[in-house]
Amino acid sequence: MFLVFALLYIDKNDAMLQNYLKTALRYLIRNKLQSFINILGLAIGIASTILLVIFIKHELSFDNFHDDSDKIGRIISRSVRSGGHEVIFPVTLYEIADRTKEQLPEVESATHLFRPNNFELSKKGEKKGFFKGVYVNHSFFDVFSFKLLKGDIKTALTGPQKIILTKSMANQIFKEDDPIDKTLQFNEKEYTVSGVMKDFPANSHLKFDYLISITSLDQDWLSQMGNDFNTYLRFNCALNEEIKTKAEKVVTTYVNKMFEPHGIKYEHFLQHLGDIHLHSDYNFDMAETGSIHYIYIFSILAVFILGIAILNYVNLFTASSQKRLKEVGIRKVSGAFRSMLIRQFLGESVIISFVSFLIAMLLVESFIGDF
């Protein structure tokens, strides 16, 4: 089809180019099976490679949409228990967010997250199902760059019994109604909807349906919860070894002082926000994580698949060259130069590659949704 359109639009005076395209079209039609295998094989190889590259790019893009994401880190705790068993988890004490902000002038803001058990949400006594949520403090939007579609971002999480819904959850529960100032029942308590936020991006390691102000929980109970809080810090400059060392020292000193009566010691380190998705394999992690090993594997696989598709095409094209010796001989006797023959065969390869690429893009568009 591409060749037919090309023939229609080529200048009639360019007889040589027209002749090349006609010859290529006749050859492809005359060798339908080989042309089909060449084009389809190359198209599948290109489509597979594109899908793998899209996946790799997506995995590497996690959390880079936040403003100044290089300034954000989370605290990781490490403890060696009896028998030499090492436990590493991305949680720490409730007080750490405030302590680091007080003792480190480099900390602009700090927030902690607490994941509750799954409770069923209801509206006016009508059960609406289970949703995935988290308790956060009012600094959540100071650390992260998530946006509110409705409500005041400065006050939406200040004060108890406030809840922010994602757009998808708000649409599911309230349909066309404005959810602001409406109430929901959760864990036998009523919460007022104070905001609606954009859905968490697909490349965010945090994904929830709602946020609840952490002041809704009893503060004395919170201070007795132990190491149960994911804590994130935003600094006034990009993370470097000096800042990381200072933050780790402050956290370790405070935590070990609190756990000294129990004979437990912790070490802490600061994990860069951009490393969370691909470099985390911790206990009690609320983040949706992947693995850097998959990136290496799929990168090699993408090159391998594309290489096989190209080699397959080259082998089939070479195998058919013996059949075209007569054509080459006649063209040379008719006065064709070597450069003309090279341009013809290269042109055929370019045409096949271009058609394969178009088919590959159609395949990608067809499978990208499910993928």
Digit-coded pLDDT (tens) for 79-116: 876 666 788 999 999 999 999 999 999 999 999 999 88
User: From CA 198, how far away is CA 204, in angstroms rounded?
Assistant: 12
Percent of the chain at pLDDT > 90 equals 53
User: From CA 107, how far away is CA 236, in angstroms rounded?
Assistant: 6
Burial of 343 (0-12, 13-18, 19+ CB in 10 A): middle
Q: Which residues are paired to 73 by β-bridges?
A: 233, 272
194 in Cβ contact with 163 (< 8 Å):
yes
29 in Cβ contact with 39 (< 8 Å):
no
Q: Domain ranges in the chain?
A: 31-60+294-367, 69-276
Q: Dihedral (C-alpha) 351, 352, 358, 362: value to the nearest 10 degrees?
A: 160
- The string of DSSP letters for 79-116 reads EE-GGG-EEEES-B-TTHHHHHHHH-TTEEEEEEEEPP
Least confident window among 134-143, 258-267, 330-339 = 330-339
181 in Cβ contact with 163 (< 8 Å):
no
- pLDDT averaged over every residue in the chain: 85
76 in Cβ contact with 268 (< 8 Å):
yes
Strands 148-150 and 133-136: unpaired
User: From CA 327, how far away is CA 322, in angstroms rounded?
Assistant: 10
Question: What confidence score (pLDDT) does residue 3 get?
Answer: 46
Structure-block tokens of residue 248: 């780790």
Among the residues of the chain, which ranges form H helices? 2-9, 15-30, 32-60, 96-103, 140-143, 167-174, 219-223, 241-259, 292-319, 325-333, 338-367
User: From CA 46, how far away is CA 331, in angstroms rounded?
Assistant: 34
Global confidence as pTM:
0.83
Reported as a pLDDT band with limits 50, 70 and 90, residue 166 is very high
User: From CA 47, how far away is CA 41, in angstroms rounded?
Assistant: 10
Alpha-carbon distance values, 138 to 80, 156, 214 (Å): 33, 8, 8
User: What's the distance, Cα to Cα, between the start and end of the chain in Å?
Assistant: 29
| Residue, of 198 and 14, whose pLDDT is higher | 198
Looking at residues 172-201, what average pLDDT do you find?
A: 90
What's the chain's length in residues?
371
User: From CA 304, how far away is CA 337, in angstroms rounded?
Assistant: 37
Strands 120-123 and 162-166: unpaired
Tokens 């199902």 -> residue: 129
136 in Cβ contact with 157 (< 8 Å):
yes
Digit-coded pLDDT (tens) for 216-268: 988 777 777 778 899 999 999 999 999 999 999 999 999 998 888 877 888 99
Closest CA to 114 of 87, 146, 145, 91: 91
Question: What confidence score (pLDDT) does residue 90 get?
Answer: 93
| Residue, of 128 and 90, whose pLDDT is higher | 90
Q: Which residues are paired to 109 by β-bridges?
A: 234
Burial of 136 (0-12, 13-18, 19+ CB in 10 A): buried
Structure-block tokens of residue 199: 């859905």
